[in-house]
Chain A
Amino acid sequence: MDIPYQTEPRKDTGLFNAKLGIWLFLASEVMLFGALFSSYILLRVGAAPGDWPHGLLNIPLGTINTIVLIVSSITVVMAWASLKMKDFAAFRRYQTVTLVCALGFLGIKSYEYNDKFSHYEIQLKDGRVADGHLKETTATEYVLHHAHYVNKAEAAKVTHAYQEREIKHEEITVKKEDVKYMENYGPWHSTYLAIYFTLTGLHALHVIGGALVIAFLWGPGAVMWKTDPERYTNRIEVSGLFWHFVDLVWIFLFPVLYLL
């Protein structure tokens, strides 16, 4: 006994079950990310002047990641098209590229995360605030490189990323005994970083999930190509639709978090 329309499309809807299923699932995903994007907007318009940082993220790296994901989206389609043309070897080649892209994306992302976690704001007892990347910690000192002393009035004037780049940065050494409070640029540091880590973290989970499915279908799941090639091709199509969605989310994330 088989459930109908697992492989062949139903005539009046033109869809096989799993394809409808993934579209419905993606509709739900749109609402999930939609809610987070809406939260981003609300937090941003509600932020006090100067509180919303600009130019905090590495735009070239973000651009590379965008390209990486777009390339992977193309190879996913090519992989599916190869299966449609019964070329299993080409399918495997394309999906290998997809998986390498997924790993590359996650690698760059984790480098960026690490960069944020080593970035410190140090409030000094004399009221000044030093801000930069912790290079080394000695017994009595913190050494920050690419650092500067924050000027609240000037920070409030920064509304674009390029203005941030014009601020002069240097190496700063801070005595431990002068430190009142220090905190790195984790999600706890500001609502911007909170939504940045939440959005990109959730997106990264989606990348991992999608990559696992694609890897499974590349490896052990591929036995179905021998037993039921049509259904196997459908599975590739469905996993590809999910992958495109993951890609699409990033296309929104990149400008919203890096550029605006």
Chain B
Amino acid sequence: MSTQASSHALPHIGAHDSHHEELGFLRKYVFSTDHKTIGIQYGITSLLFLLFGFSLMMMMRWSIARPGEPLPLVGGLLEKILGDVAAKGVISADLYNEFGAMHGTIMVFLGVVPLAFAAFGNYVVPLQIGAIDMAFPRINMASYHVYLMGGIIMLVSFFVPGGAAQAGWTSYSPLATTIQTNGQVFLLTGLVFLITSSLLGAVNFLATIIQLRAPGMTWMRLPFFVWAQFVTGFLLLLAFPPLEAAGIMQLMDKLAHTSFFLPTGLSVAGGHISGGGNPLLWQHLFWFLGHPEVYVLILPAMGIVAEVIANNTRKPIWGYKSLVYSSLVIGFVSFIVWAHHMYMTGMGTKISTFFQTTTMIISIPSVIILTCMFLSLWGGSIRFNVPMLFALAFLPMFGIGGLTGLPLGFNFSDLHLHDTYYVIAHFHYVVAPGTIFALFAGIYYWYPKMTGRFMSEFWGKVHFVGSIFFMNMVFMPMFAQGLSGMLRRMADGGINYSAAKVPGAIGGLTDNIIWLNQFVSVAAIGLGLAQIPFIINFFWSIKHGKEITSDNPWDATTLEWQTPTPPPHGNFVKPIAVYRGPYEYSVPGQKTDFTPQNQA
């Protein structure tokens, strides 16, 4: 064993790394093994996918509000690109289904997860633990490229004959198998790539956090963001493979004509099947991933919010250990709640009862985390900058999302709410104004470290106000629609179920409820417009934003701010050691109101 490990000395990094040999364009920006470059690659790619997924939804909203009418502005273009499914610029039901399936798939697998876990994780985690890079830099690079290939396969599927997958992001069999187009094959192939990418990423993150913590960086000195990424890494590592298995089996059903998910007696157009399969098997395997996935989406967001709140209240986060233990409990319990997505499948009341119980249990650590963050605000001298505004907005928005989930977690109330717009409103509150707001907070917060300049504070506030207003205008009415029984996945927005159209029918939708479709669609356009200041701000500030005056512009304690800006290859100019916890703000007796972790 070398002296380095036995003396527990620092990783050998030195000043020579800052004037590292110049790499060519390809090695520097495309095939980079530097965790910071890879983080930015992930960040930009996933933001583009988020934008793309969002624009799919905007077109769907048009179809919901104005079924059968040609899409303004882009209708003609859509017909040119996609052909008959968009004849005369009208979104057909088939195209609506394609957009619906791909909106979900893209937002979850290509947008939010890569942004929350891979982009922020790559950029921030090694810096926060005082490492010079990830444990396996080349695997890190491969992980990004595999992710990109998966994304391209998904995008290409729009242009194959028959178009993209149409069976929802959940790809329930037999529907997904029996639709006679190849979209599903592309979706599943893309998914296998994405799962491989996230597997490589998860192994890398876990190994990095376990192995490469700087001397003195004990587990309870880790910033909460690192803890959140750590638990997320385990979820990705262990929950994704069952979906990969399911994906392989569905591919076999599609391509080798097996019957894993096709029951006996099912008649399939154009082919003989053996039958004997089990449609519920797909749902079990899918949701075995699907539910931990929810926490993959939310935990990194909570991590970012904790960092921003501690920094901008100038006081330690309240209940750091409770946060850590809660996220570990969430990690474990999230593996035994999956079938609460399946109350309506007839899997049996006893099984439903079990999963209803575990579902209620998992809400406890989530509430603890949220409560800790609210309590952290108490008595702080809060700086209301843009990252803090987004972080503050996260709290009630995630709160609404979480609490409206309880009626879905009880199987008796789920009977009424299942598959309605209420469900859409619920999980979008968790992911859109929840996770995505936290991601915005993270972008505004770490942007100065990446570029050396702040993003515009004014336009950031415009972005914030527009986003939070329109976000609620979009999703709040959906609760009302869902409670009135309006179902999801209808290209015409439920017009055929309107009470006016079928007088006397029980459960018909009133005109008011159907009118809300138009209201929501207008709000969705507003939400889209509210993102324009962000996009301009994001690119404009790279060159023209206010320059930072120190490497630690937010006066933060964690290690990512104790590096040059932007951090060079190898990150730290001199070996770093850690002497204190992550949130030593306003410690009495100290000269400043923040004490960096590496200050002896």
From B137, B246, B264, contact of A3 by CB (8 A): B137
In contact, A28 and B211 (Cβ under 8 angstroms): no
From A17, A28, A191, A194, contact of B135 by CB (8 A): A17
Q: List chain A residues, Cβ under 8 A from B276.
A: 43, 46-48, 51, 190-191
Q: If A21-B135, A47-B276, A183-B272 touch, does A31 touch B248 (CB 8 Å cutoff)?
A: no
- Per-residue CB contact flags for chain B residues 255-299 toward chain A (1 = under 8 Å, else 0) read 011111000100000001110111001001100100000000000
How far, in Å, is B84 (CB) from chain A's closest CB? 32
- Decide yes or no whether B522 CB sits under 8 A from chain A: no
How far, in Å, is A22 (CB) from chain B's closest CB? 9
From B12, B245, B260, contact of A2 by CB (8 A): B12
Residue of A nearest to B3 (CB): A8
In contact, A32 and B244 (Cβ under 8 angstroms): yes
Q: If A191-B274, A191-B277, A194-B259 touch, does A21 touch B207 (CB 8 Å cutoff)?
A: yes
- Decide yes or no whether B8 CB sits under 8 A from chain A: yes
> B198-206, B420-428, B508-516: which one contacts chain A?
B198-206
In contact, B278 and A194 (Cβ under 8 angstroms): no
How far, in Å, is A131 (CB) from chain B's closest CB? 15
Q: If A28-B241, A189-B274, A191-B276 touch, does A3 touch B260 (CB 8 Å cutoff)?
A: no
In contact, A28 and B199 (Cβ under 8 angstroms): yes
- Decide yes or no whether A111 CB sits under 8 A from chain B: no
Q: List chain B residues, Cβ under 8 A from A51.
A: 276
In contact, A8 and B245 (Cβ under 8 angstroms): no
In contact, A1 and B245 (Cβ under 8 angstroms): no
Residue pairs across A and B with CB atoms within 8 Å: the count is 160
- Per-residue CB contact flags for chain A residues 187-216 toward chain B (1 = under 8 Å, else 0) read 111110011011000100000000000000
> A33-41, A62-70, A144-152, A156-164: which one contacts chain B?
A33-41
Complex Cα spacing A15 to B256, Å: 43
In contact, A39 and B249 (Cβ under 8 angstroms): yes
In contact, B256 and A186 (Cβ under 8 angstroms): yes
In contact, B281 and A39 (Cβ under 8 angstroms): yes
> Number of B residues contacting the other chain (C-beta, 8 Å)?
59
Q: List chain A residues, Cβ under 8 A from B203.
A: 21, 24-25, 28
- Decide yes or no whether B492 CB sits under 8 A from chain A: no
From A2, A24, A47, A181, contact of B207 by CB (8 A): A24
Q: List chain A residues, Cβ under 8 A from B104.
A: none
- Decide yes or no whether B2 CB sits under 8 A from chain A: yes
In contact, B278 and A42 (Cβ under 8 angstroms): yes
From B5, B17, B135, contact of A1 by CB (8 A): B17
Q: List chain A residues, Cβ under 8 A from B1.
A: 8-9
Measured CB to CB, the residues of B under 8 A from A are: 1-2, 4-6, 8, 11-14, 16-17, 131-137, 139, 199, 202-204, 206-207, 210-212, 237-242, 244-246, 248-249, 252, 256-260, 264, 272-274, 276-278, 281, 284-285, 288, 569-570
* 10 A–B contacts from the bound complex (CB under 8 Å): A8-B5, A28-B238, A35-B285, A42-B284, A43-B260, A188-B273, A190-B276, A194-B256, A194-B258, A194-B277
What 10 additional pairs, Cβ within 8 angstroms, besides A3-B132, A3-B135, A191-B258? A4-B11, A11-B6, A13-B211, A17-B207, A17-B212, A21-B204, A25-B203, A32-B245, A36-B245, A194-B260
